[in-house]
Amino acid sequence: MPDTASLAALNANIDGLSSGFTALSDSIWDFAELKFHEHRSAGLLIDMLKKHDFSVTTGVAGMETAFIGEYGGGKPVIAFLGEYDALADMSQVAGVDEQQVMETGATGHGCGHNLLGSGSLLAAISLAKHLAENNIPGTVRYYGCPGEEGGSGKTFMARAGLFDNVDAALTWHPAPFNGVRSTNNLAVLEYYYRFKGVAAHASNAAHLGRSALDAVELMNVGVNFLREHMPQDCRVHYAITDTGGKAANVVQARAEVLYLVRAPEMSQALALAERVNKVARGAAMMTETEVEIVFDSASTNLLPNLTLEHAIHDNLTALGPVPFDDADVAFAQKIQATFSDEAIKSSIRLYQIKEDVFLNHKVDGTQPLHLGLRSFEGQSHFRAGSTDVGDVSRVTPTAQCWAPAWAIGTNPHTWQVVAQGRSPGAHKAMIHAARAMAATGLDLLVSPELLARAKAEWEEKMDGQPYVCPIPPDVHPAID
């Protein structure tokens, strides 16, 4: 943890910069651009980097909206990871406690990446400013990572070797709680199954048709039977992305379904995916159709680094609670009133919010906003989600913290996340996360011993096995 004077100076830098970054976050919220189309959002982040004397490389790893900003020089190299993509069909008015769509079918920041990208950038720039003011050697990098939502942008960046000389990477995510939670999440593989049949009049000449939609439906049934016979912690889910048309009196000559296959380890996900592929081929055989299996994207399961997570927790403890005011609590209370008791309790279980460091009580759901700090157990927990941060963690020691931008009970990918995305409370949580990340980055720059311990833990867990990107070299980012 930085000494008191360094921490005060670092926080002073953040105080001076924070208003510009809340405005930046709000602008990205307004744009709400989908994966690999985040041109305006990336442009604002790049402009901010250049304004603060970072050198910027754009269009990295074959993605127009991916970029790297760098300040300083030499070792160690500390990376901050930023995201800024939104979600489809998540349009929602900000600052209200009821579902109000701004534009039917429009996008929205349903996972808080407007806050995530801006907060990570605030940490990187404030730390770089501190290095310059104190003649501290080292390099600060900001990675502009597009397409986290279903695009695996960081995985493509890792495949391109862009993290190979990074000594440690830090990031954060909005959440209903404040603190560090070490997670073992799931590796994920995404495939499109495109069936091709033969069109025919569904009444006069049905015997001449071969229904691609029948094949999709049979595949889905087959995979549902497969669920009983796969490992307990695996997940398989799907969306029919093309039904082949709306005319019921036409045998559908085409149909498409997207599958996500998740497992605790990538090797398990690959094995399970091959079983799903066999079901797809069987469905094609049964319907006398053809199936094309198209690999879309993938992300490896996270490799937690407890050394870095302890460091972030120590800095969060030194910072104290997020400085929420009564208006922040009141808005969170209105949002929480839209959740069932079951949803609130489920959120607390999901994030394992137990003893509170500052408030010295258990979080039970009667609090609308997390006003304290989650205790850190120093061990990892299972989490069923997936993230391309996992691929970064397989290349370099990586850790993240969470900050309470949402009311307790909020689940990601909901209208409530979008509604809270521009709130004063969310801004305060973002700035708080930036303080913790910047302080941890400074720890790593001035403490060779801390960095050495983080690397030693990473090497032990990797056990001499090199990172193998799960995306084949001939697969490129799927820009819709």
| pLDDT per residue rounded down to tens, the chain (480 residues) | 778 888 899 999 999 999 999 999 999 999 999 999 999 999 999 999 999 999 999 999 999 999 999 999 999 999 999 999 999 999 999 999 999 999 999 999 999 999 999 999 999 999 999 999 999 999 999 999 999 998 999 999 999 999 999 999 999 999 999 999 998 899 999 999 999 999 999 999 999 999 999 999 999 999 999 999 999 999 999 999 999 999 999 999 999 999 999 999 999 999 999 999 999 999 999 999 999 999 999 999 999 999 999 999 999 999 999 999 999 999 999 999 999 999 888 888 777 766 677 766 667 777 899 999 998 988 888 777 899 999 999 999 999 999 999 999 999 999 999 999 999 999 999 999 999 999 999 999 999 999 999 999 999 999 999 999 999 999 988 776
User: Do 4-184+302-462 and 187-297 have matching folds?
Assistant: no
CA pair distance 152, 259, nearest whole angstrom: 15
Domain locations in the chain as residue ranges: 4-184+302-462, 187-297
Domain 4-184+302-462 has CATH 3.40.630.10: yes
pLDDT at 359: 65
CA pair distance 397, 456, nearest whole angstrom: 9
CA pair distance 283, 224, nearest whole angstrom: 13
> Quick one: tokens of 154?
């960081």
Percentage of the chain with pLDDT > 90? Answer: 87
Do the beta carbons of residue 275 and residue 219 sit within 8 Å? no
- Whole-angstrom CA distances from 147 to 36, 84, 415 are 5, 8, 20
pTM: 0.94
> Quick one: tokens of 113?
């990446």
Which CATH code is given to the segment(s) 187-297? Answer: 3.30.70.360
Do the beta carbons of residue 290 and residue 284 sit within 8 Å? yes
Residues 6+ apart with CB under 8 A from 453: 307
CA pair distance 21, 133, nearest whole angstrom: 21
- Listing DSSP states for 372-441 in one string gives S-B---SS-EE-----THHHHHTTS-EEEEEEE-S-TT--SSSHHHHHHTTSHHHHHHHHHHHHHHHHHH
Give me the amino acid identity at 451.
Answer: L
Do the beta carbons of residue 80 and residue 170 sit within 8 Å? yes
